[in-house]
């Protein structure tokens, strides 16, 4: 029986749409493009795809299975299924990751919202005097403007979670996500005509194998896979908890992973040809989309601003459904733990997350000389710790829990795999391949396998 007062998705489609809405977001466009650009392109993409196939999909299935079985939040699910056992640390880390990720996600989504409004007012329809790059840098290094937009975006996120799970998310997703998909396809076809097509496509699809020698691309690819799939922190456990027993889980898992990956690849085809056409360095970092896309819209000429408007609007909407799932992970835990009302939980947790995000915003300007990890600024450091460490580690524990903590027959039945060969493969991946691969990637990221010759 579901816990008292727990909502359920209104339809089968509702759940898949919500999981897709969580997965598809800034991770597919903003983060995918700049991380791919920084890590050499095609070789990175290949590792990323392998991570999705062999580690991501099995763990999505594990999260769905755990969530539906337990019908509780990220921590409560482990407490319910394995009382008194330490597995729930995955859930606790997941809640911590939700705080960290949403804190900087709100900042970037605020930037997107600001661009949307600047296309709405026509301000960016023609190139500003300081150029598009200058416009971007002036904005993010300003103390107050990005904070205001981060605040606005967080208020929207809080508002949606405030009114409950199903009402807010299901409706918007059904219309806006397909529109975003169509727009990205149209823009990627256009981008291919800009003169950088061969270089851009080669960068994205023809691997430079020497890039594989760099140990940092593995952890970057793994982190990107987890981030983009909303994986490793119990977001999909929490959403799975609102699911009825009727769902076919493997079908849902493949659709979510497939669609999310498709969005990322299409974004790549949209961005990299343009990057080469306009002579911007692919490894320009987190500002990449903000610097390149206005050039693309500008080059369309009259009416290009409409595309800019639609692009930033739909991306902000996609970011909103992802942000909602992040907030939901934290809120679902706290309202159960402290018996708060949903409303109270949403306001408190949402408010705290906004505050935690402030240093990430200021880190672009007044606090830009502060770096936490290596030469990463505050935002990047939060991202690194949460996405490249917490999520994969959470995923590792979830894989072990499903693979070793459950009876084999139960796992196969509860996942809807039944006694099929693919079910056996799934358990093999969870038991051995995924945990070992994640472990090795961690070792390599701390320089364990490097010869010391750089
Ligand atoms: N997957 C989301 C995106 O790509 C971000 C996210 C990460 C959401 C983790 C929930 C949990 O934008």
Reported as a single tens digit per residue, the pLDDT across 249-266 is: 999 999 999 999 999 999
What does the pLDDT average to over 144-164?
93
What does the pLDDT average to over 359-387?
93
**Under 8 Å CB-to-CB from 86, ≥6 apart: which residues?**
none
Give 293-303 pLDDT, tens digit per residue.
999 999 999 89
pLDDT of residue 373: 84
Integer Cα distance of 342 and 332 in angstroms: 8
Give 174-212 pLDDT, tens digit per residue.
889 999 999 999 999 999 999 999 999 999 999 999 999
Integer Cα distance of 317 and 178 in angstroms: 12
Give 80-104 pLDDT, tens digit per residue.
999 999 999 999 999 999 999 999 9
**Under 8 Å CB-to-CB from 338, ≥6 apart: which residues?**
345
Q: What tokens appear for 32 in the block?
A: 């995918």
Residue 2 has pLDDT above 70, yes or no: no
What does the pLDDT average to over 99-120?
98
Q: Which residue's alpha carbon is at the smallest distance from atom 4 of ligand 1? A: 27
**Higher-confidence residue: 402 or 160?**
402
Integer Cα distance of 229 and 370 in angstroms: 30
What share of the chain has pLDDT > 70, as a percent?
94
What backbone phi and psi angles, to 5 degrees, belong to 229? -85, 5
pLDDT of residue 453: 45
pLDDT of residue 173: 76
Integer Cα distance of 409 and 24 in angstroms: 33
What does CATH list as the number for 12-445? Answer: 1.20.1740.10
At 227, the pLDDT band (50, 70, 90 cuts) reads very high
Give 40-78 pLDDT, tens digit per residue.
999 999 999 999 999 999 999 999 999 999 999 999 999
Give 286-345 pLDDT, tens digit per residue.
999 999 999 999 999 989 999 999 999 999 999 999 999 999 999 999 999 999 999 999
Reported pTM: 0.95
pLDDT of residue 8: 67
What share of the chain has pLDDT > 90, as a percent?
85
**Higher-confidence residue: 214 or 446?**
214
**Higher-confidence residue: 304 or 453?**
304
The number of the ligand 1 atom at minimal distance from the alpha carbon of 27 is 4
CA of 322 to the centre of ligand 1 (A): 5
At 242, the pLDDT band (50, 70, 90 cuts) reads confident
CA of 29 to the centre of ligand 1 (A): 12
In this structure, the chain runs to a length of: 454
CA of 325 to the centre of ligand 1 (A): 8
CA of 115 to the centre of ligand 1 (A): 21
351 CB neighbour count, 10 Å cutoff = 12
Residue 243 has pLDDT above 80, yes or no: no
Runs of H (alpha helix) within 338-433: 342-362, 378-383, 391-404, 408-414, 421-428
Q: Is 357:106 a contact under the CB 8 Å cutoff?
A: yes
Residue 454 has pLDDT above 50, yes or no: no
**Higher-confidence residue: 193 or 453?**
193
Residue 246 has pLDDT above 70, yes or no: yes
What lines the ligand 1 site, CB under 6 Å? 22-23, 25-28, 101, 227-228, 230, 233, 235, 322, 325-326
């Amino acid at each position: 029986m579901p816990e008292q007062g727990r909502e359920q998705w209104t339809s089968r489609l509702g759940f898949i749409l919500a999981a897709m809405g969580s997965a598809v977001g800034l991770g597919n466009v903003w983060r995918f493009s700049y991380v791919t650009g920084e890590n050499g392109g095609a070789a990175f993409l290949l590792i990323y795809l392998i991570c999705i196939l062999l580690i991501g999909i099995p763990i999505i299935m594990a999260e769905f299975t755990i969530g539906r079985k337990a019908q509780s939040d990220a921590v409560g699910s482990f407490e319910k299924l394995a009382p008194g056992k330490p597995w729930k640390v995955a859930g606790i880390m997941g809640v911590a990751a939700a705080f960290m990720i949403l804190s900087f996600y709100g900042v970037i989504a605020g930037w997107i919202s600001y661009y949307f409004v600047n296309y709405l007012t026509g301000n960016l329809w023609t190139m500003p005097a300081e150029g598009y790059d200058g416009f971007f840098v002036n904005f993010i290094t300003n103390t107050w403007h990005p904070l205001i937009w981060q605040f606005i975006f967080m208020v929207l996120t809080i508002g949606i979670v405030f009114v409950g799970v199903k009402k807010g998310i299901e409706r918007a997703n059904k219309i806006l996500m397909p529109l975003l998909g169509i727009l990205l396809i149209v823009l990627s076809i256009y981008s291919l005509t800009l003169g950088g097509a061969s270089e851009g496509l080669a960068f994205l699809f023809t691997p430079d194998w020497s890039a594989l020698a760099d140990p940092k691309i593995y952890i970057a690819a793994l982190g990107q896979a987890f981030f983009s799939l909303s994986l490793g922190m119990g977001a999909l456990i929490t959403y799975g908890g609102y699911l009825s027993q009727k769902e076919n889980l493997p079908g849902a898992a493949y659709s979510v992973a497939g669609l999310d990956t498709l969005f990322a690849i299409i974004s790549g085809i949209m961005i990299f040809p343009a990057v080469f056409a306009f002579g911007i360095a692919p490894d320009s970092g987190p500002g990449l989309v903000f610097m390149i896309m206005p050039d693309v819209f500008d080059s369309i000429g009259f009416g290009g601003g409409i595309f800019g408007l639609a692009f930033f609007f739909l991306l902000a909407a996609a970011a909103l459904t992802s942000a909602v799932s992040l907030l939901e992970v934290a809120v679902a835990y706290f309202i159960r733990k402290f018996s708060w009302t949903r409303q109270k939980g949403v306001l408190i947790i949402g408010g705290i997350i906004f505050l935690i995000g402030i240093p990430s915003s200021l880190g672009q300007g007044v606090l830009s000389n502060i770096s936490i990890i290596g030469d990463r600024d505050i935002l990047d450091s939060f991202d690194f710790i949460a996405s490249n460490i917490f999520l994969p580690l959470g995923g590792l524990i979830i894989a072990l829990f499903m693979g070793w903590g459950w009876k084999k027959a139960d796992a196969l039945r509860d996942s809807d795999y039944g006694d099929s060969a693919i079910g056996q493969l799934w358990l093999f991946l969870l038991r051995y391949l995924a945990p070992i691969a994640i472990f090795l990637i961690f070792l390599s990221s701390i320089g364990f396998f490097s010869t010391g010759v750089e």
